Structures are given as C-alpha cells and as structure tokens.
Chain A
C-alpha cells in the first residue's frame, strides 16, 4: 500500500520505517502519473521490507522547498532516517526494487 504523506506526517513515516521510499509528485506531471502504478507494484513487492509513500509537491510547497526538490518525479530514500541519494525521473519497477534491496 502506498501511503499519502503531508508535511505533518512526513517525518513520522521516515521514523516508522527503517527503509522508506517517498515519491514526490504533482498531478500535472506526466511522468509522475506514469510512476503511480509502478509505485503501487513496488509497494507490493517490498511489503514488510520498505515503506512506500508519496507526497504531492503542489500541496506541500514549503516541505518540497526544504527538501530541495526541483525535479519530479523524485524518489526520496531514507535508511534509518538518513537520506540516501534520490532517484530522479521515471524509473522502472525492477530498477527501484533492486535499488531498495541493495540498501537492506
């Protein structure tokens, strides 16, 4: 299941998941729309191993700025609360899963 995050729930999600993947997206972004079903598949494949969530940058502009996001879709990754290099742009399911598994 992909959790929808806001500024209020963002940090708790990172704290609650040893490995967290957060897709920063916006409704008008074509590649973001294409990422949505991929993210669902990643969430299913990584169930029990990583938390998968998404955050609408349009609804959370302050947090987006604070996170330094300037290109979407942006897949932010946190391991034990520590930010890892993000994956920017549309990615294949296999690539994302492989990337996450390497961090386990």
Chain B
C-alpha cells in the first residue's frame, strides 16, 4: 500500500489540474482514474482560453497528465471501487486490487452517465430494472439477472450479485474493467456476454434482455451499472451526504463538510465547462495540499 499526502480521484481536466497544483505545492500526490472516463475524452475543446481552433480532448488529457507527473504526481489509471476513513486520513481501494492511502482526498470524478437509453429501460424501472445493485440485490435471491456496463462498477456489482442470484450475466461489448476485476467476477461464476444490450423486454415486469446478435437472455432483473463508481457513492463511503441531484456541495476553497475531503469540477454543479472545472481543480489542489501538510489557514 502506498501513502500520499493527496489522492485525486478522477483523471479529467479538474482532477489533473488539482494534481498539478497539489504536486507543485510539494504535496506527494496520486492521480487516480482513467482519462478515457472523462467527458473530454473523444471530443474536442474550442472554448478554452489560449487554445485556438479545435483541440483534441484526448491529447489535452495526455499532456495534462504528463505535466502532473513532471511535477511529481503519480498517475494510476484505475478506478476507485471504495473509499474509507482511516486514523491518518483515507484509504482508496482500486479496481486492480491495490490500495492507496492519503491524508486528503479530492473528488473529481465528473458526472457519470447513468442511463443506458434502450427501449424498456424507463418502462421497467422499479419493475426489474435497477441502477443500484447494492440496494436491490436482496430482492433477486434465486433469480436470474443481467448486469450491464463495462467498467469496474459493473464488475463488482456482477460479482456481488452471484451471492444472491441463481445466474448472473455480465453484458457489455466494451469491457474496460481491470483484468483483476474481470477475473474476480469470472471466478465467482459470472457469465460474461460480450454483446451490446439493445432492449429490455417483459410484461408486468422484466423477463428478458435482448442482445445485438438477435439473441435474448431470460432474466428477472437488469442492473445498469455504467462507468466507474460515482462521486456520490464515494462521498457516502466517507459519510459525506451528496445533494439530491448527486452534486457535492463545496465552499470557496473547494472543501466539503468532511475535513480532508475536497471536490471540484462537474460534480460540484453546473455549468459543466472545462474552464470552470480547471479553475476549481487548481483551488482544490492548493486547499488539499495545505490541509495535508497541516498548513490550512
């Protein structure tokens, strides 16, 4: 287990800027998360100060991470699966099975996409469609379920569901979770279906999940677990209560109501703009470094 002054969760523009400012302030800093999970990945930026034309989002993320690393930050491209409070600060468990500890944590995960957007999803919400495996697992004892999503949250949810359901299918045509997480799910008995889900079927409630090759899985429940673990869930791990819209409230220094926990970027609210995210990232990095080094004013 590695110990740092500051752990930044989220490798988008806000998290990267936080890591740059934290490490430049001589706080040992770890930047956690995959840049591919950022809303900036796969897009371009054309409304940011000093960047003419359209800048490639992935290129900016790569450059930003290299900058943070050049100032001493360590980048671990893995999602955080859980966060906990320790006597010295915080412990983050990573999807690859490793752990890091830090005196201060910055939540910069961005806003995760929750909805899948396929026919049947809305109609069967609460009738077999769930967005929270942890909440609803016990209602599927002895039944068949499908878990949809390609990242660590889907892997851990599928693995957990094997303790309740009689059969668990993990459905995704784009599995990006770490090999460790995939192996853990497979070892627990999860059947991986590398196809795209196209619709959810049923009558009064869910009875099937239809797939891109024309086949259909007979299931009683469909758990939609897209992306990495959300900031709202990580916040609750450390007894920080998110707002009802899943945003995290911060003060002007990007501090939350939990000492040592800071937040920045889209998870603190709108507008979801790179410029705002970066500005808050700088503030959060400075504040967290000060807190961790015991110099907070």
The yes or no verdict on A and B being binding partners is yes
Whether A30 contacts B134 in the complex (CB less than 8 A), given A71-B126, A89-B126, comes out as: yes
Pairs across A and B, CB under 8 Å, 26 listed: A26-B138, A28-B135, A29-B132, A30-B134, A30-B135, A30-B236, A31-B132, A31-B135, A33-B241, A34-B241, A34-B242, A37-B241, A38-B244, A57-B138, A57-B139, A69-B139, A70-B127, A70-B130, A71-B125, A71-B126, A71-B129, A71-B130, A86-B126, A90-B244, A92-B244, A92-B245
- Within 8 Å CB of B135, what residues of A? 26, 28-32, 71-73
CB-based nearest B residue for A64: B139
- Within 8 Å CB of A26, what residues of B? 135, 138
> Chain A, 32-51, contact with B by CB distance < 8 Å: what is the 0/1 string?
11100110000000000000
Asked if B244 and A88 sit within 8 Å, CB to CB, the answer is no
Tell me, yes or no, whether B123 is within 8 Å of chain A by CB.
no
Partner of B134, one of A29, A58, A93: A29
Closest-CB distance, A4 to chain B (whole angstroms):
19
Query: In the bound complex, how far is the Cα of B138 from the Cα of A57, in angstroms?
Result: 9
Query: In the bound complex, how far is the Cα of B244 from the Cα of A93, in angstroms?
Result: 9
Asked if A72 and B136 sit within 8 Å, CB to CB, the answer is yes
Listed in ascending order, the chain B residues whose CB lies under 8 Å from chain A are 125-132, 134-136, 138-140, 205, 221, 232-233, 236, 241-242, 244-245
Tell me, yes or no, whether A79 is within 8 Å of chain B by CB.
no
CB-based nearest B residue for A26: B135
- Within 8 Å CB of A86, what residues of B? 126
Residue tally, chain A, CB below 8 Å to B: 27
Chain B residues touching A, majority SS: mixed
Closest-CB distance, B178 to chain A (whole angstroms):
23
Tell me, yes or no, whether A74 is within 8 Å of chain B by CB.
yes
Partner of A70, one of B221, B241, B244, B245: B221
Query: In the bound complex, how far is the Cα of B140 from the Cα of A96, in angstroms?
Result: 27
- Within 8 Å CB of B127, what residues of A? 70
Q: Which 8 A-B residue pairings sit nearest by Cβ, starting from the closest?
A: A88-B126, A29-B135, A70-B139, A71-B126, A92-B244, A30-B236, A71-B130, A71-B136
Given A70-B127, A71-B135, 19 further pairs, Cβ under 8 A: A28-B134, A28-B135, A29-B132, A30-B134, A30-B233, A31-B132, A34-B236, A34-B241, A34-B242, A61-B138, A70-B130, A70-B136, A70-B139, A71-B126, A71-B129, A71-B139, A72-B135, A86-B126, A89-B126
Q: Which of A47-79 contact B (CB under 8 A)?
A: 57-58, 61, 64, 69-74
Asked if A70 and B126 sit within 8 Å, CB to CB, the answer is yes
- Within 8 Å CB of A89, what residues of B? 125-126, 131
- Within 8 Å CB of A38, what residues of B? 244
Asked if B138 and A58 sit within 8 Å, CB to CB, the answer is yes
Query: In the bound complex, how far is the Cα of B132 from the Cα of A72, in angstroms?
Result: 9
Closest-CB distance, B153 to chain A (whole angstroms):
13
Asked if A70 and B132 sit within 8 Å, CB to CB, the answer is no
Query: In the bound complex, how far is the Cα of B136 from the Cα of A74, in angstroms?
Result: 11
Closest-CB distance, A67 to chain B (whole angstroms):
11
Closest-CB distance, B121 to chain A (whole angstroms):
13
- Within 8 Å CB of B233, what residues of A? 30
- Within 8 Å CB of B221, what residues of A? 70
Whether A30 contacts B244 in the complex (CB less than 8 A), given A69-B139, A71-B126, comes out as: no
Asked if B132 and A74 sit within 8 Å, CB to CB, the answer is no
Query: In the bound complex, how far is the Cα of B140 from the Cα of A61, in angstroms?
Result: 12
